[in-house]
Chains A and B, each alone.
Chain A
Amino acid sequence: MDQFVTYTVFGVVLAAIYAIAASGLVVTYTTSGIFNFAHGAVGMLGAFAYWQFHVKWGWPTLLSIAVVLLVIAPLIGVFVERVVMRGLQGVSEVTKVVVTIALLFTLIQVAPVIWSPKGSYSVQPFFGAAKIDLAGAGVTYHQLIVIGVAIVVAAGLRALLYGTRLGIGMRAVVDNRMLAELNGARPDRMSAFSWILGSALAALAGILIAERIGLETVALTFLVVNAYAAAVVGRLTSLTRTYVGALLLGLGQAYAQGYLPDNPTWFAERNLDIRSLSLAIPVIMLFVVLLLIPHARLRAHGIVRSRELIPRPTYRWSLVGFGVLIGVVSLLSGALSGEDTLIWSQGLCFGIIMLSLVPLTGYGGQISLAQMSFAGLGAYAIATWGGGGNPLGVVLAVLLAAAAGILVALPALRLRGIYLALATLAFAYVMEKVVFNQRALFPTTSKPVDRLWGLESNRAYLIFLAVVFSLVGFGIVWLRRSKFGRRLQAMKDSPAACATLGLNLTVTKLQVFILSAGIAGLGGALFAGANRAAATDSFSAVQNLPVLLMAVAGGIAMVSGALTGGLLLASFSLATRSIPTLELFGVDAKSFFENLFRLAPGLIGITLGRDPNGLVAMVSDKVKRLWERRLQHRGTRDLPVPATRWQQLVEPVWAVESMGVDTPFVPEEIARIDERLALDEEEVRAGVFA
């Protein structure tokens, strides 16, 4: 009995922390339409800042917390809102996702610069180990405080959102911009406020949980993935449901830990461990909850004026490009050291994996955070069936991954935008925690791989990869120019129009998911070949974040973007490795440059709001402009519309641009807002995703 109480208390405490973190996500999401993947990283920074004040500098607990919540977190919030989130108009859902992923990488890399990873950090629970007795079980003061804080936060948010004009305005923004246009007041304050509030809630959650899981950047950051599930129970808009979700999740995890039976012998004999399911409870819950979300209704939303271009390459120039690639790689490969050859090989494999995102995300607008899991299946296939360089291994890699693509796509077809991103991420976590860690599949965390056709020389393998990349890339160019490519783009621009023209969206999405997963599987198999090993941690869920990030940074709708993204991703490790030890002006320059390179992916990603077309487009645009100036070319370019114009052209999707709280609402307006808010959940959500 007292054991049950202990688990229950433990579960409620977890739930309280999840709830606090998740409500922060909800607050920013509802007002800005941006799901903040960096939420956990903000919490992590908050926890470290608390350590700095309280442990390092010995400030009193309450003062330290107050400074973190009232100064540090708001500063982060304002920074994020001002620098990163503004300028995200007229960008696609994937760019919004990627910008916050980039922020996550930046923050994760900033922390070790301030708090050296060599140091040891820990914070004590409030009031140490002091506890009270509850039905025979000990409950610490810290646990009580956590539960109390969650209740206060709930009450406070409720009072804010329902009792103050600011809150009513924030809630109204959820609904729709038409309504928001009732008011001519300033929006920026509300947006900034929601980011401040969101950051403070993240930091609070970080501080409360730090004593339990320790001050470790990555663990703290990704803990918030658990909060995603709770937030999604609230459909990212309802705080009450978010709390219910958090409670289910916390208790579920606690009881699973306490009561899940030992692995049954039948499974154990087969090297399968079903207990690993308990590790995956939050993501399984996330996945299940996403599947319960009613079908996103198709809506007309007016012409999407996107700043994002989908170039239409010609066959001739593509062939020239691929020829150059193969030529350069062949020449270069002679000059590279063995290790560098390996890194460039990995880069090309990443490039192939990123090619899988071009039709799926670049053309079709479907966000996937599971491509590395498909790649992992490809790696598994080649390790298992590709012995002695048997091509069957590669064929099965493609087929196995494509089959998994169907598995993900079928339930995911009904989801759009951020929900699809989260569902695919949940799938990736399930693959990592439940599939890839089975000893029946991967007896150790790494499985030896024979290269295709026994291409033993690293140089030959690198050239081979360049050829494969070119072939797949050419296929994508062909696709872009085909009916199917056009159809994908049409689907991205307006699913509603496609459907009313008679297009079966389900079939179309399924096709592109299968194609994409297959390509990723191929990339994974070749990647494993490059390393001569299929290592499970290359294919963990988190690996999907840099892959999507760099694919978008290179240019998600371009073959050349995938190549650039892949090579960049691989080269970050190359660059960090090859910096000589040196001192400049008495400063350790090596670590400075190392930090810079670690920060690079994040920093590149953050700039995407400014120029969402990626690096390749940015560079080629510059080159083109120089060229045109040289030719004294004065023809008006039809497209793209100059970037400065977008501010005027793009209809603000989020009412934050047109709504604020400076002008008091008259009672009639409040009544209208409330009438709007009485809409059923689905309406509201559909509005949010329209």
Chain B
Amino acid sequence: MSLLEVREVSVRFGGHMALQDVSLGVEPSKIVGLIGPNGAGKTTVFNVITGLQEPLRGRVLINGIDVTSFAPHDRAQRGMARTFQRLELFGSLTARENLMVAAEIRRTWGQHTIPAEERVESAIDLLGMHEFIDKRADVLTTGQARLVELGRALVTRPKVLLLDEPASGLDASETEYFAGILQGLARAGMGILLVEHDVPLVMKICHDIYVLDFGKVIAHGIPEQIQQDQRVIDAYLGSGSGVPA
């Protein structure tokens, strides 16, 4: 059974169809890529999954349970967490407090096995955030803020993690480190849905890729298939290198 399933979701903004019959699935231990040009509808898919955007049609299932009518917090409590493309940290709190809040929220509905502080410390260690962890979140650099957001999602111990362009703002070595973390999380059983413009990264770590263009899934397959797909090359990858348009 899929951890996360999106079935034939459509979204309309005014007269504009932002998504048309989009379906995708995320299995445990798999990193699934969702790529496509700007404005293709990737963030909208995330918003539908997390309950921030009501779809016109279609359903969302978490662990086989239809959550389409659930409030965002109810969905999160089924084991899902996300990051935001434009960053959505709690600006007036420190980075550490950002993580604490998330860990404490987790304790309001989950089992209370590991104390919040401990989970926060492990996230700080894992992501190497010691240097800036006591700064206020609204003064962090984009790269730091992305890490904090990832950490904040992780301390809720999600089964499925949605990442919206997590590597933008990271330099090459940070990206590499980051890729390692994602692979580690997947090995530990987490399902990850990754929206990312860094095509080499996506090709390297994803097990499965969906390509979105003008709100439609135009291709789906393993990285090798996607790289060969003529429509994907035309719409997104461009003829040469594999660099996004």
Contact = CB atoms under 8 A, between A and B. Distances in A.
Interface of A: 297-306, 308-310, 483, 486-487, 489-490, 492-494, 496-505, 638-639, 641, 675-676, 678-680, 683
Contact of A500 (B82, B109, B136, B137): B82
B128 interface: no
3 closest A-B pairs (Cβ-Cβ)?
A502-B76, A499-B72, A679-B14
B138 A306 contact: yes
Contacts of B85: 300
A499 B73 contact: yes
Given A302-B87, A303-B87, A500 B76 contact: yes
Given A306-B92, A487-B105, A501 B87 contact: no
12 contacts: A297-B54, A298-B52, A298-B72, A302-B86, A302-B88, A304-B92, A304-B138, A483-B104, A501-B101, A502-B108, A503-B73, A639-B139
A646 B181 CA distance: 35
B76 A501 contact: yes
Contacts of B135: 638
Given A300-B47, A499-B71, 17 more contacts: A298-B72, A301-B88, A302-B87, A302-B88, A303-B89, A310-B92, A494-B88, A497-B89, A499-B73, A501-B73, A501-B106, A502-B105, A502-B106, A502-B156, A504-B73, A675-B15, A679-B14
Contacts of A487: 101, 104-105
A417 B39 CA distance: 29
B97 interface: yes
Given A300-B52, A639-B139, A675 B14 contact: yes
A384 B77 CA distance: 46
A406 B54 CA distance: 28
Contacts of A308: 92
A490 B105 CA distance: 11
Given A683-B13, A683-B14, A303 B73 contact: no
Contact of B72 (A301, A500, A678, A679): A500
B136 A505 contact: no
B41 interface: no
Interface string B121-138: 000000000000001111
Given A305-B91, A486-B97, A676-B14, A502 B52 contact: no
B180 to A, nearest CB: 25
Contacts of A310: 92
A306 B136 CA distance: 11
Contact of A499 (B53, B76, B97, B137): B76
A300 B52 CA distance: 8
Interface in B133-152: 135-139, 145, 152
A497 B156 CA distance: 12
A300 B86 contact: yes
Nearest to A493: B90
Given A303-B145, A502-B156, A638-B139, A489 B73 contact: no
